[in-house]
Structure 1
Amino acid sequence: MGLFDWKHWIVILIVVVLVFGTKKLKNLGTDVGESIKGFRKAMNDDDKPAEQPVPPAQPVHPQATSPLSQPHTIDATAQKVEEPIRKD
């Protein structure tokens, strides 16, 4: 007679039913099934690429062609600055 003999499982099942009752076990089984379905659905949703939102079209004004209404950009070049290492 091994540790996982079928007789042991019957005794464990009877004890669990006596402690929790059949109604709570049924609710527990339903909750576990729903959580597994939700997990699978979430995993399938992650596989699908998200749709890129389309930005709303901006109205064109007659004054939009003037140089002042264009966005301002700064043209610069980054330079590396070497600092001496201080020993305190």
Structure 2
Amino acid sequence: MKYLLRILGILFSLATIALALYLLINDNNRADQAMRTWSMVTMCGAVIFNGAHFYTRRKDNRGLISVIVGIIILLVVVIKFPF
């Protein structure tokens, strides 16, 4: 379970980097808002899964707080920003 959480955290981090590079290179303004929203969603996923891995590995409250903050920010992003 720990390895799955770590792998998912790494994959979300890589997706965030890929989306950031796409937004940096691409000059298309129509899809920018949707791509920024997806970038925020992948950042939240990275925070959630890396925090869950940290919590299951060490049973430290910092990992649990990271998961909670990631979920709260994810809810705000999904409610506030359009896809």
Max Rg structure: 1
Question: How high is the TM-score relative to the length of structure 1?
Answer: 0.34
Q: Report 1 or 2 for greater relative contact order, CA contacts < 8 Å, sequence distance ≥ 6.
A: 2
**Given the two structures, how large is their TM-score scaled by the length of structure 2?**
0.35
Structure in which a larger fraction of residues adopt helix: 2
